[in-house]
Amino acid sequence: MMKESDPRNEDEELRKFTFLEVIHLLRERAWVIVVCVIVGLFLGLGYAAHQSRIFRAKAVLEVASEEPNVLKFDQGHAQDFTAQDALQTTVACFRSRTLLQNVIDKYDLRSDPAFAGRLGNLTDEQALERILRVTYVDVRKGTRLIDIIGESSNPKTAQTLANALSAEFLAMLMEQRASTSKFALKFLMDEAATLKTKLQHSEEVLQDYKENHHSVSLEEKQDTVVSKLKNQNAQWTDAKAARLRLEADYNKVVAHADDVNMLLSMAAVSNHPAVIECKQQISTLESKIAVLGLRYTEKHPMMIQTRAQIADAHALLNATVLKMPSLLRSTYEAAIVTEKNFETALREQEQAAQDLNRQAIPYNVLYRDVETDRALYEAILKRLKEADIAKGVELSNIRIFEAAALPAGPVNLGKIKLGGLGILGGLVLGVGLSFALHLVDNSLKTVDQAERITGLSVIGAIPRGGRRIKSKNDIFLLNDPKSIIAESFRSLRASLELAARRKDGGIFLFTSAVPSEGKTFTAIHIAVAFAQQGLRTLLIDADLRAPKIGDIFKCERGVPGVSDVIARESWPCRDSLATEINNLFVLSAGTRIINPAEILSGPGFGKLLQMAAADFDAVIVDSAPIHAVSDTLLLVEHVHWVCMVAKAGGTSASAVIRARQQLELAGAKVAGLVLNQLPSDGGVGYYYYYSPGHYGEAGYGSKKAEQTHKG
C-alpha span between 243 and 707 (Å, rounded): 142
Task: Give the per-residue pLDDT at 658.
Answer: 93
Q: What sign has the CA pseudo-torsion 526, 644, 634, 606?
A: positive
Confidence of residue 522 (pLDDT cuts 50, 70, 90): very high
Residue 683 maps to a domain: yes
Query: Which amino acid would we find at residue 365?
Result: V
| 377 located within any domain | no
Nearest to 474 by CA among 535, 548, 530, 546: 548
* Pair (453, 436) in one structural domain: no
How confident is the model at residue 707, as a pLDDT? 38
Q: What is the pLDDT of residue 489?
A: 92
Identify whether residues 585 and 634 lie together within a single domain: yes
| End residue of a domain, out of 306, 323, 349 | 349
User: Are residues 427 and 506 both part of a single domain?
Assistant: no
DSSP string, 583-640: TEEEE---S--S-HHHHHHSSHHHHHHHHHHHH-SEEEEE---TTT-SHHHHHGGGSS
Dist CA 634 CA 662 (whole Å): 11
- Whether residues 523 and 625 fall in one domain: yes
Q: Give the pLDDT of residue 190.
A: 82
Three-state DSSP class for residue 673: strand
Check residue 214 and give its pLDDT: 64
Instruction: For residue range 10-49, list pLDDT tens digits in order.
Output: 555 545 556 666 777 777 778 888 888 888 888 877 776 6
pLDDT of residue 701: 42
Within a domain: 18:
yes
* The three-state (H, E, C) secondary structure of 77-130, written as one string: CCCCCCCHHHHHHHHHHCCCHHHHHHHHHHCCHHHCHHHHHHHCCCCHHHHHHH
457-514, pLDDT tens digit by residue? 999 998 887 667 777 777 888 888 888 889 999 999 998 988 877 666 689 999 999 9
Residue ranges making up the domain that contains 480: 447-706
Q: Does the pTM of the predicted model rise above 0.85? A: no
pLDDT of residue 72: 46
pLDDT band at 659 (very low <50, low <70, confident <90, very high): very high
Per-residue confidence band for 693, with pLDDT thresholds at 50, 70 and 90: very low
Together in a domain, 340 and 473: no
Tell me: do 268 and 338 sit in the same domain.
yes
Residue 397 covered by a domain: no
Across the chain, mean pLDDT equals: 79
pLDDT for 550 beyond 60: yes
pLDDT at 492: 92
pLDDT in tens, 223-257: 677 787 788 888 888 888 888 887 787 788 777 77
Does residue 222 fall inside a structural domain? no
Which segment of 62-76, 375-389, 531-545, 668-682 scores lowest on mean pLDDT? 62-76
Which of residues 326, 349, 372 is at a domain's end? 349
Most confident segment among 91-95, 367-371, 548-552, 669-673: 669-673
Report d(CA 235, CA 346) in Å as an integer. Answer: 9
Q: Which of 312, 330, 349 is the last residue of a domain?
A: 349
Secondary structure (3-state) at 666: coil
Same-domain pairing of 461 and 431: no
Give yes or no for residue 77 having a pLDDT over 60. no
Higher pLDDT, 696 or 74: 74
pLDDT tens-digit profile of 112-164? 777 877 666 788 888 888 888 888 888 888 888 889 888 888 888 888 888 88
- The answer to whether residue 685 scores a pLDDT higher than 50 is no
Q: Do residues 515 and 653 share a domain?
A: yes
pLDDT for 710 equals: 35
Q: 433 with 485, same domain?
A: no
In a domain, 490, yes or no: yes
Q: What is the pLDDT of residues 577-624, one digit of tens each?
A: 889 899 999 999 888 888 888 888 888 888 999 899 888 999 999 999
> Does 637 map to a domain?
yes
Q: Are residues 17 and 43 in the same domain?
A: yes
Written as one string, the DSSP assignment of 303-360 is HHHHHHHHHHHHHHHHHHHHTHHHHHHHHHHHHHHHHHHHHHHHHHHHHHHHHHHHHH
Task: Give 82's pLDDT tier (boundaries 50, 70, 90).
Answer: low
Q: Which carries the bigger pLDDT value, residue 598 or residue 366?
A: 598
Residue 208 CB partners (closer than 8 Å, separation 6+): none
Q: How many domains does the chain have?
A: 3
Helices 19-28 and 447-454: angle between axes, nearest 10 degrees: 120
Question: In which order are the strands placed within the sheet that holds 670-678?
Answer: 458-463, 670-678, 641-647, 507-512, 618-622, 537-541, 584-587
309 and 423, same structural domain? no
Cα diameter, the chain: 204
% of the chain at pLDDT higher than 70: 84
Q: Are residues 644 and 517 in the same domain?
A: yes
Residue type, 241: A
Residue 558: is its pLDDT beyond 50? yes
pLDDT digits (tens, 9 = 90+) for 376-405: 878 888 877 776 665 555 556 788 888 888
DSSP letter string over 493-521? HHHHHHHHHHHT--EEEEEESSSSSSHHH
Residue 179: CB atoms within 10 A of its CB come to 10
Provide the CATH number for the domain around residue 688: 3.40.50.300
Closest by Cα among 217, 221, 225 to 349: 225
Domain assignment present for residue 264? The answer is: yes
